[in-house]
Every structure is written in C-alpha cells, then in structure tokens.
C-alpha cells in the first residue's frame, strides 16, 4: 500500500497505544513519519527501527507537550529533516480523573492536562501550518466523551477533549482558503495501556455500555486517521468522527 507515498507526517505522542498504531499505519501507507514521545524512548526507537527495516522513513523526537515551545521545536526539527509537513496528527494527551470534591488537590495535574491537551494542540497547528502546502491534512484526536460523559470524575478531561473538537471546527473555516482540511477523530474505550491496566470492574462497566460489546483496537482508530489523511478525504473538513462501538448512538 502506498496511498500516502511522498507525504510527510508529524504525529504527537506516537510511541504507545493509538499514537503508535497511527505512526505505523501512516508509514505503511508510504508516508515519512516524524513523531514525538516523552518517556517511552525504547518504544520510540523500536518503532523507528521497525519502519526503517520495512523500507520506510521515521524520526522520533523527545518533546514534552506541557512545556511551551517543545512541540514547535519538534516540528521545526522535522521540517529541517524532511522540508515540510503534509499531515499533522495531534494525538498526545493526558488524562486526569477524580471527583470534583478533590479537584483542588489535582490543580497541578489539571494545569498539565490543559497544557498538553489544548495548548500543545494549538501550538502544533500554528507551527505546522506555516510549513504545510495547500491541500494539507490536520487530524486532531479528541474523544467521544466530548458529547457523552459516561461516568463521574471525568469532567476536567472531557472539557479539554470537547475543546479540541470545537477548535477543529473553527480551524476548518480558517484554513479552508488553503484547502487544508481539519477533522477530529473521537474514540470511545480503546485497548490501550490505560484501559488494559484498568480495574476489571471499570472495564466491565464500560463494556456493558457498548452496543458492539468490545473495545476499539488502536489499529481501527489508525485506519480512520489514515483515511482522513489521504486524497479521498479532500472534501471532508470540520467534521468529527466517532469510533466508539455505538456508545454514542
């Protein structure tokens, strides 16, 4: 497969879970992929090695999205290596859960969540669009929780993901004159480390609410991202795509 042959992609948070699956799928489709990681250096380097071994091109860059300027620098490093950005995928995110009664105790974590989930997304878009040719693609990973909460203790996290979906719609208007499409992907419960390591009662609670009675696979989310990154999605912009097994139906 080579639907993205010759394209340059930049993915935030690409060393684990959905991010890893997205990086690998874009590379499989022929894109040269740069991605950020924070703590999973071994994972990141293994992904690069696997992609290069398969004949592709990949670059892993350590960057903390909570620090202003880090994502900007990572994008500029990518441009220095590959000359431009055709596809931007904002995947990196932090989730902080807890009851509203203890919110003040989580203030630092909450601010970190805002920085990663909202500020770094805006920084990535504002930087990447300068190096993106007309007709580029921006895909933001939001959450189905932006319209359906599902359980208590998630209000802070959900607020950030709802902001990403709203930001996507505004960006679609701003970048339409350049034929740059901007869409969001809104996964439900997905088999990533967070869910795999969750308490069995939580897993069962989530499973009971899903009509298809299974969790999403990271590769399924990556397949949707891949479609939105390709030429066939050129008339789709400002849209939010739920991939949640029917939980929002």
Write down the pLDDT at residue 95. 87
Q: Is the pLDDT assigned to residue 2 strictly greater than 80?
A: no
Write down the pLDDT at residue 1. 61
- Which residue in 19, 152, 22 sits closest to 92, CA to CA? 19
Q: Is the pLDDT assigned to residue 55 strictly greater than 80?
A: yes
Write down the pLDDT at residue 32. 98
* Beta bridge partners of residue 87, listed in sequence order: 9, 137
Q: Is the pLDDT assigned to residue 51 strictly greater than 80?
A: yes
| Token representation of residue 186 | 């809104």
Give the residue, 87 or 199, on which the prediction is more confident. 87
Write down the pLDDT at residue 236. 98
- Rank 74-78, 91-95, 109-113, 146-150 by mean pLDDT and report only the highest: 74-78
d(CA 162, CA 168) in angstroms, rounded, equals 10
d(CA 66, CA 155) in angstroms, rounded, equals 20
Q: Is the pLDDT assigned to residue 59 strictly greater than 90?
A: yes
Write down the pLDDT at residue 148. 76
Mean pLDDT of 178-188: 97
Please name the residue ranges forming H helices in the chain: 17-28, 41-53, 70-82, 107-114, 120-128, 155-175, 193-196, 200-208, 218-229
Percent of the chain with pLDDT over 90: 79
Sheet holding 8-11, edge to edge: 58-62, 32-37, 8-11, 87-90, 137-141, 181-187, 240-243
CB atoms within 10 A of CB 217: 14
Mean pLDDT of 118-145: 97
Write down the pLDDT at residue 106. 82
CA end-to-end distance (rounded Å), the chain = 33
Which CATH number describes the domain made up of 8-243?
3.40.50.720
Write down the pLDDT at residue 83. 97
Q: Is the pLDDT assigned to residue 152 strictly greater than 80?
A: no
d(CA 249, CA 244) in angstroms, rounded, equals 9
Q: Is the pLDDT assigned to residue 53 strictly greater than 90?
A: yes
> Which residues are catalytic, by number?
157
Mean pLDDT of 96-115: 87
Write down the pLDDT at residue 190. 93
Record the pTM.
0.95
Q: Is the pLDDT assigned to residue 234 strictly greater than 70?
A: yes
183 pLDDT band (50/70/90 cuts)?
very high
Write down the pLDDT at residue 112. 93
């Amino acid at each position: 497969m080579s639907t993205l042959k010759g394209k340059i992609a930049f993915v935030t948070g690409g060393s684990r879970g959905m991010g890893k699956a997205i990086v690998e799928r874009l590379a499989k489709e022929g894109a040269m992929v740069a991605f950020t990681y924070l703590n999973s250096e071994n994972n990141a380097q293994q992904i690069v090695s696997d992609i290069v071994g398969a004949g592709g091109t990949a670059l892993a860059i350590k960057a903390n999205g909570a620090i202003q300027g880090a994502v900007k620098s990572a994008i500029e490093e990518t441009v220095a290596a590959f000359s431009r950005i055709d596809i931007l995928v904002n995947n990196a995110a932090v989730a902080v859960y807890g009851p509203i009664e203890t919110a003040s105790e989580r203030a630092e974590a909450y601010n970190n969540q805002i920085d990663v989930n909202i500020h770094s997304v805006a920084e990535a878009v504002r930087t990447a669009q300068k190096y993106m040719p007309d007709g580029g693609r921006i895909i933001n990973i939001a959450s189905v929780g932006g319209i359906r909460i599902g359980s208590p203790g998630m209000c802070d996290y959900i607020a950030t993901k709802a902001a990403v979906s709203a930001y996507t719609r505004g960006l679609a208007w701003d970048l339409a004159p350049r034929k740059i499409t901007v869409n969001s992907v809104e996964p439900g419960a997905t088999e990533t480390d967070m869910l795999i390591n969750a308490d069995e009662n939580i897993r069962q609670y989530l499973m009971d609410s899903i009509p298809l009675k299974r969790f999403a696979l990271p590769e399924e989310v990556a397949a949707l991202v891949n479609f939105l990154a390709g030429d066939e999605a050129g008339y789709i912009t400002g849209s939010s795509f739920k991939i949640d097994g029917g939980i929002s139906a």
